[in-house]
Amino acid sequence: MLETSEEIPTAEYVFRVMRALGERRILEHVQGVLVGRPKAWEFDKQRTRDEKEAYRTTQRDTILKAVRTYNEDIPIVQNLNFGHTDPQIPMPYGNRVRIDVQGKKVWADF
């Protein structure tokens, strides 16, 4: 599970972080990636609706590109409501998560 953060990082920064996970072979060993919906504004970083959507799209594309560089097979589920989102769903760090790719469902053990 990962999310960008309230700091509204650039796509380049996110790619470098994901590349570091790939270069350390972490992305080879995970069975799937869950990504929280990117926060696209902060009080000191106001954006229009179109700017927010463009930011989120760029973040999603960046994560997809980086993960696929190191692992072409694992499921990647993006735009989930955990992390710095509103609404916010708590996620069970350390517990099991199951991804049903065909059914487009995610189950988490709490």
Which residue in this structure is represented by tokens 């769903």? 89
Q: Please tell me the predicted confidence (pLDDT) of residue 64.
A: 97
pLDDT of residue 45 exceeding 80, the answer is no
**What is the band of 90 on the pLDDT scale with cuts at 50, 70, 90?**
confident
CATH assignment of 11-108, given 3.90.1150.10, 3.30.930.10, 3.90.105.10, 3.50.30.60? 3.50.30.60
Cα angle value 65/66/71 (rounded, 5°): 95
**What is the band of 35 on the pLDDT scale with cuts at 50, 70, 90?**
very high
Cα–Cα distance measured from residue 53 to residue 63, given in angstroms and rounded to the nearest whole number: 16
| Secondary structure of residue 100 in the 3-state scheme | strand
Q: Where are the chain's structural domains?
A: 11-108
**Residue 63, token pair as written in the block:** 């994560």
Q: Please tell me the predicted confidence (pLDDT) of residue 50.
A: 96
